[in-house]
């Protein structure tokens, strides 16, 4: 944030899932720069603590709330800890996700469950347990980091596309449901992003194509743009593609 620029999110608290690295980490740092307190949710405590140190070194406040987004008890605890320890929950960024690429016959039922539960079950659980609080306050913002794979089918991504289509449809329905009570819902749909995502399950570490993809910070800018809109405006969907995309 440029010197002298107002911190738009001062006094607000954001809970970010998948915050231990990649897009989640970038979102946490970006929202903290806007003045938000950030609650960091993921499974790896050591990685979360590293991100928390980065936030605090930059002058922000971070809360580590480790857990598994597929487990309802972990989700409920994370939301309640955020409210209790940071004073409120104003922004929920549902970002945690996994992927695997390959022909359909290379997928097992366990692969399907892993992808759908991590991507969609966790989205449902976090929204389900945060929405009553947001509705009661008649304000707040729910951001779902989905993918362009949630807008069209892609080869060798059938199960991943299914999970992301589910997220997009879920968010679109919630936009209609929550808008009358003052709660905003935004879907961020990026294309290829150079992170740890799908390394070993479709992407190869060191692949030069990764360097041509967008950076996690690019997606974080889109999230910040969505959640800093004036009160009367909402961003329904942001679709992002890397400049390196073939014509």
The catalytic site residues sit at 160
Residue 184's DSSP bridge partners are: 141
Q: Which phi and psi angles does 17 have, rounded to 5°?
A: -90, 155
Task: Give the Cβ contact number of residue 7 at 10 Å.
Answer: 15
Q: Name which of 59, 21, 30 is nearest 223 in CA terms.
A: 30
Spatial CB neighbours of 75, under 8 Å, sequence gap ≥ 6: 67, 69, 122, 125, 126, 129
Task: Give the Cβ contact number of residue 77 at 10 Å.
Answer: 16
């Amino acid at each position: 944030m440029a010197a002298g620029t107002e911190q738009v999110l001062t006094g607000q608290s954001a809970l970010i899932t998948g915050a231990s690295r990649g897009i989640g980490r970038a979102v946490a740092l970006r929202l903290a720069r806007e003045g938000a307190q950030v609650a960091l949710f993921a499974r790896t405590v050591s990685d979360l603590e590293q991100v928390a140190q980065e936030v605090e070194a930059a002058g922000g406040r971070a809360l580590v709330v480790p857990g598994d987004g597929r487990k309802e008890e972990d989700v409920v605890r994370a939301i309640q800890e955020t409210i209790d320890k940071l004073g409120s929950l104003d922004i929920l960024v549902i970002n945690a996700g996994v992927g695997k690429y390959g022909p359909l016959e290379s997928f097992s039922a366990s692969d399907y469950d892993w992808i759908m539960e991590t991507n969609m079950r966790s989205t449902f659980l976090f929204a389900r347990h945060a929405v009553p609080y947001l509705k009661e306050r008649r304000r707040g913002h729910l951001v779902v980091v989905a993918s362009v794979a949630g807008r069209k089918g892609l080869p060798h991504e059938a199960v991943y596309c299914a999970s992301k289509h589910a997220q997009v449809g879920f968010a679109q329905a919630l936009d209609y449901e929550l808008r009358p009570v003052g709660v905003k819902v935004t879907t961020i749909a990026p294309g290829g992003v150079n992170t740890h995502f799908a390394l070993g399950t479709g992407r190869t570490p060191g692949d030069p194509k990764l360097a041509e993809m967008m950076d996690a910070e690019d997606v974080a800018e889109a999230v910040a743009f969505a959640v800093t809109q004036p009160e009367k405006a909402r961003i329904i969907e942001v679709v992002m593609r890397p400049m390196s995309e073939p014509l």
